[in-house]
Amino acid sequence: MVPSHPELPHCGNLGRLLAAYPDAVATGDVRDLHLFYPEAEGRLEPRLPGDELDLGGRRFRFLPAVLHDLANTTWGYDDASRTLFVCDGFICAHHPAAATAEEPVHAEGECRLLLSEAAGGALAPESFRMSAEGLYWTRRADPDPVFDDLDRLLAANPARILATCHGNLIDTGAAEAARLARLAHRAVYASASS
CA nearest neighbour of 51 among 41, 39, 60:
60
What is the band of 111 on the pLDDT scale with cuts at 50, 70, 90? Answer: confident
Sheet (strand 83-87) strand order:
52-54, 59-64, 74-78, 83-87, 161-164
CA dist., res. 62 & res. 27, Å (int): 10
CATH 3.60.15.10 domain extents, the chain: 50-193
Q: Tell me what the mean pLDDT of segment 128-140 comes to.
A: 84
List, for residues 4-51, the tens digit of each pLDDT value.
888 878 888 999 999 999 999 999 999 989 998 999 989 999 999 999
Q: Which CATH architecture has domain 50-193?
A: 4-Layer Sandwich (3.60)
Contact indicator for 168, 94 with CB cutoff of 8 Å: yes
In order of 78, 117, 139, the CA distances from 136 in angstroms are 27, 31, 7
121 backbone dihedrals φ, ψ, rounded to 5°: -65, -5
* Residue 123, pLDDT score: 80
- Angstrom distance (rounded) from CA 148 to CA 66: 10
| Helix/strand/coil percent split, the chain, to 5 | 35, 15, 45
Angle between helices 143-156 and 174-193 (to 10 degrees): 170
pLDDT in tens, 59-104: 999 999 999 888 889 999 999 999 999 998 888 765 655 555 555 5
Query: What phi, psi does 131 have (nearest 5°)?
Result: -65, -45
Does residue 125 carry a pLDDT above 70?
yes
Distance (Å, whole) CA 135 – CA 91: 10
Angle at 36 (CA atoms; ends 74, 30), nearest 5 degrees? 30
pTM for the complete prediction? 0.89
